Amino acid sequence: MTTTMPISAAAWKVGTALALGLSLISLAVPRPSLSQEKLLRTLTVTGQGKEMVATTITQVRLGVEAEGETAKGVQAEVARRSNSVVELLRSRQVEKLETTGISLEPNYRYNEGNRTLIGYVARNLVSFRVPTQQAGTILDDAVKAGASRIDGVSFVAADAVIATAQKTALREATQDAQAQADAVLDSLGLSRQEIVGIQVNGAFAPPPRPVEAAKFTQDAAAMPSPVIGGDQEVNASVTLQIRY
């Protein structure tokens, strides 16, 4: 004989509340949305692109340096020779001509720990751009006009050429990222579906490496070697998020 225990009203209420709570908990568990599911099945890859372009412009930094016993005399000498150099450069219609440094410093002689003022050193530095095929002649003439130091020579491509190379490098970087994704997914038996995210990390031309600086005397006869430009590198990077 089976005996059925009566369920009290209080126990019935507790059981009903527990069942209802479990149902609410199951309903409250978040289910991933379609967009979240897509993000869970994405591959992130970064592609690189590189273009080499010929440099046609020479960036030059040169100046006048003089030494003498008095600050006034040295500064006057530098001003006179600097004006002559600047007039020459303007007559050759160089681009982006600007002053990059002016200095006047005491010149000391050191002997057995003693310091003796023997005069002053003054400098006036300028920079400019010129077509590379004209750079050697202009540098030689600038020295004859009074320049006594060349602090740097570097080579760059024209702005329009760099802009075109940047676009090409970006296309190469995008294709590289897609090829990387295809190689990975193919090895796993998967396939590329759609691109859900794009990040352009940049397309830039690194600053040109300067040629070793030189110092000349005012009566320099000629440039030691012709000025010959090279190639400039333009890099790009693109990151893709690809659903599979």
Q: Is the pLDDT of residue 60 over 70?
A: yes
Top-tier CATH class for 57-156: alpha beta
* DSSP-derived secondary structure for 129-147: EEEHHHHHHHHHHHHHHT-
* pLDDT, tens only, 70-79: 999 999 999 9
Report the pLDDT averaged over residues 39-50: 90
With the CA atoms of 66, 97, 88 and 225 taken in that order, what torsion angle do they form, in degrees rounded to the nearest 10? 80
> pTM value?
0.66
* pLDDT, tens only, 203-236: 777 766 566 544 444 444 444 447 888 889 999 9
* pLDDT, tens only, 96-133: 999 999 999 999 999 888 899 999 999 999 999 999 99
Q: Is the pLDDT of residue 32 over 60?
A: no
* pLDDT, tens only, 134-187: 999 999 999 999 999 999 899 999 999 999 999 999 999 999 999 999 999 999
CA 237/CA 222 separation, integer angstroms: 44
Q: Which pair of structure tokens corresponds to residue 75?
A: 């500064």
Q: Which sign does the torsion angle of CA 3, 9, 15, 19 carry?
A: positive
Q: Where are the domains of the chain?
A: 40-52+162-204+239-243, 57-156
CA 221/CA 60 separation, integer angstroms: 19
